[in-house]
Amino acid sequence: MSGAVPSGFLALPSVDATLAREIQQDLERVEEVLRETVAASDPMLAESANHLLSAGGKRFRATLVLLAAHFGDPTAEELVPAAAVVELTHVATLYHDDVMDEADMRRGEYSANHRWGNSIAILTGDFVFARASEMLADLGVEAVRLQAQTFGRLVQGQVLESSGPRGDTDPLTHYLQVIADKTASLIASSARFGAMFGRAGSGVVESVTRACEALGMAFQLSDDILDVAGNPEESGKAPGTDLREGVLTLPMFYAQRSTSPEDKRLLELLGRPLDADEAEDALRLLRAHPAMELARADLRAWADKARAEFATLPDVAPRWAFEALCDFVVERTT
């Protein structure tokens, strides 16, 4: 599960042009801070720490910080550092994730663990998180507490994913908890940082946090559906990555509930590594299965939950932008 998000978010037609321009300008400042923050005197550490930042990324979490701040004062001096902190935290987890997943590629480049080995990759992730924590210390106790709580959830999500469901735990419930901790937690905290440092009202801070927790769930479910149903010419990604690796995601959990003899072949293919021919067969069968519509219904439900929370916020440009995201996350899978 990648947690990836759509590119060009600020270019969505429903996003106010002035708002988009202001956020883009602040993102350029965030980018400068990111480069400066991971600088290191040791050449290898400097190269490895800059590796994933140089590979690109959409800076989605940083964008959420800056967008949520527009419910208050978007010029507050803490916002650019806060946006850099959440982005560095995300990047730090990617170094660790790639080691855990034994991944060779990340953002179109060889992963750090592939280039320098697991030890360097893990230590680089630690270094990036340490630099984020150092910056965080200047943002106050409440920010440090929120970051600690979020990082605890990120770690818990990775442990849950690695260990799998235990005892009589429902595998689908377990899967959703992994998504909540590994993906939705940092997306929610990003929006909370923005509203908090933008000095928005306490009700706005709480609403935008709840909304973005649901939005984070929707984004990950959307990605998992696209991994089955996506068009590689539009996404730039080959479909079926999770299927080939034996990773179970939402459509597959629903397919596994089938008792129909017609699904015997599909059920034999789910949950184990597949060769190219098997993966192609599994994709064909899963795309035509009712499980896909059940998965899309869950996606719509999470997007609706986020939209309902956003509807409680002031009827201004940042709310419209968040609502546009809710629409987009659903529409991209249809």
Q: Where are the domains of the chain?
A: 16-200, 202-317
**Which of the four pLDDT bands, split at 50, 70 and 90, describes residue 2?**
very low
pLDDT at residue 5, rounded to an integer: 40
Residues 180 and 12: their CA atoms lie apart, in Å, by 26
Q: Which of 33-47, 93-107, 115-129 has the lowest mean pLDDT?
A: 93-107
**155-177 confidence digits (pLDDT tens):** 999 999 999 999 889 999 999 99
pLDDT > 80? residue 8: no
Identify the weakest region by mean pLDDT among 9-18, 135-144, 169-178, 194-203: 9-18
CATH 1.10.600.10 fits 16-200, yes or no: yes
* % residues pLDDT > 90 (the chain): 77
List the structure tokens of 4: 């990836």
Q: Determine how many CB atoms are found less than 10 A away from the CB of residue 84.
A: 26
**Mind giving me the DSSP string for 97-130?**
HHHHHT-SEETTEE-HHHHH-HHHHHHHHHHHHH
Distance in angstroms (rounded) separating the CA atoms of residues 207 and 114: 41
User: If you average pLDDT over every residue of the chain, what do you get?
Assistant: 92
Mean pLDDT of 257-284: 96
* CA-angle at 331, arms to 330 and 334, nearest 5°: 100
Asked if residue 236 has pLDDT above 60, the reply is no
**Does residue 255 surpass a pLDDT of 80?**
yes
pLDDT of residue 144: 97
In this prediction the pTM is: 0.92
Pseudo-torsion of CA 216, 138, 148, 32, nearest 10°?
Answer: 40
The Cα–Cα gap between 95 and 88 comes to 11
For domain 202-317, give its CATH number from 3.10.310.30, 1.10.600.10, 2.60.120.1440, 3.40.309.10. Answer: 1.10.600.10
Q: Which of 47-51, 69-73, 274-278 has the lowest mean pLDDT?
A: 47-51
Cα torsion angle, 131, 137, 143, 145, sign: positive
Distance of CA 302 to the CA centre of its chain: 15
pLDDT of 1 above 70: no
Q: What is the DSSP string of 237-270?
A: S-S-HHHHHT---HHHHHHHT---GGGHHHHHHT
Q: pLDDT tens digits, residue range 163-221? A: 999 988 999 999 999 999 999 999 999 999 999 999 999 999 999 999 999 999 999 99
Same topology between domain 16-200 and domain 202-317: yes
What pLDDT is recorded for position 109?
Answer: 80
Residue 42 has pLDDT above 70, yes or no: yes
